Amino acid sequence: MKITGHFLSPTRQAEILPFETAPRPIVGFACDYPSGLSSGMHSHPRAQLLYAVSGVMRVDMQGWNYLVPPTTGLFVPADAAHAISMDGPVAMRALFMREDAATRVAQAPKVISVSGLLREVILAACAEPVEWDPDGRGYHLAELALDEIGRATPLPLGLPMPGDARLLRVACALLECPHDPRNLEAWGDVANASSRTLARMFRAQTGLSFRQWRQQARLTAALNSLVTGAHPTKAAATAGFDSVPAFGAAFRALFGITPGQARLLHSGR
């Protein structure tokens, strides 16, 4: 494991080492984390599927900010530097993947939908010993997990983050307060740049216009609110929408489900 920052103690590193070096294609790793904990930037020599039975994770990786609520998982390639923040208490259940296993499911980071079947397979894999019997249950769990991960639907829960320090100030402020109503002209004062410069750089560095980026950031924040139990009216306010129907239409256009359906994820339904 490579680390920058202060989160992972020598004891915790020693606990994770067997999962990073196990002679098995997949091993399950279970750990619960308190609200507000941030890992700092680090990497692992093996790919991971990060999943939480409960709680929401935010992951910064390779210029992207990913939201990982329950019923979703984030594939993290081997040696990819990433930082995880816990948005509320998180019960993490992750899969470490050997190189030959990881190449069967993905090459780049992606958020996937975790089916009920994959959820149970992940939990079962976490209950297996690190060096499970190659001829026993662990083998079948590993094969089923790889098949389910490979078939899973990718989800638009990643936001490209700008590299320019001025734009990054604006982006981080909007992630902290997504309903902030200021337009690009007002944000120009914060970034010490003209609105025209910000607009041009936003599209060049993220592939999205400022309006598109902010809309996705707002709706992603609303999803976070819904899956942690908030009512759609409150989620709409979080996303800066005055109209709940307009919020519902925009939410469904991005995520393919209604705010009410997203709220059911809070209870695991």
How does pLDDT run across 45-97, given as a tens digit for each residue?
Answer: 999 999 999 888 999 998 999 999 888 899 999 999 999 999 889 999 999 99
Residue 71's domain comprises: 2-155
Indicate the residue among 97, 128, 155 that finishes a domain. Answer: 155
d(Cα 17, Cα 20) in Å, to the nearest integer? Answer: 5
Return the CATH number at 144. 2.60.120.810
Query: Are residues 179 and 258 located together in one domain of the fold?
Result: yes
User: Tokens standing for 74?
Assistant: 């984030």
Query: Are residues 29 and 115 located together in one domain of the fold?
Result: yes
Closest CA to 235 of 204, 259, 201: 259
Task: List the end-to-end C-alpha distance of the chain, in Å, as a whole number.
Answer: 36
Mean pLDDT of 147-174: 90
User: Tokens standing for 230?
Assistant: 């908030």
Neighbours of 115 (CB within 10 A): 15
**Confidence bin at 264 (pLDDT 50/70/90):** confident
Query: Are residues 70 and 111 located together in one domain of the fold?
Result: yes
Please tell me the pTM assigned to this model: 0.84
Closest CA to 251 of 227, 225, 230, 220: 220
pLDDT value of residue 11: 67
Tell me the pLDDT tens digit for each residue of 177-188.
999 999 889 998
Return the CATH number at 168. 1.10.10.60
Query: Are residues 144 and 219 located together in one domain of the fold?
Result: no
Query: Are residues 187 and 170 located together in one domain of the fold?
Result: yes
The one-letter code for the residue type at 114 is V
Instruction: Answer with the residue of higher pLDDT: 229 or 84.
Output: 84
Using only the alpha carbons of the chain, give its radius of gyration. Answer: 19
Query: Are residues 15 and 73 located together in one domain of the fold?
Result: yes
Instruction: For residue 142, give Cα distances in angstroms to 26, 121, 209.
Output: 6, 8, 41
**Confidence bin at 6 (pLDDT 50/70/90):** very low
Query: Are residues 196 and 115 located together in one domain of the fold?
Result: no
CA 175 to chain CA centroid, Å, is 14
Mean pLDDT of 17-37: 93
Residues, the chain, total?
269
Domain count, the chain: 2
User: Tokens standing for 12?
Assistant: 């915790």
Query: Are residues 114 and 56 located together in one domain of the fold?
Result: yes
pLDDT value of residue 5: 45
Query: Are residues 195 and 91 located together in one domain of the fold?
Result: no
Query: Are residues 64 and 81 located together in one domain of the fold?
Result: yes
Query: Are residues 25 and 117 located together in one domain of the fold?
Result: yes
Cα dihedral 49→102→41→33 (10° resolution):
20
Whether the Cβ atoms of residue 56 and residue 70 lie closer than 8 Å to each other: yes
Indicate the residue among 155, 184, 218 that finishes a domain. Answer: 155
Query: Within 13 Å of residue 132, how many CA atoms lie on the same side as its CB?
Result: 21
Query: Are residues 41 and 65 located together in one domain of the fold?
Result: yes
Indicate the residue among 155, 187, 218 that finishes a domain. Answer: 155
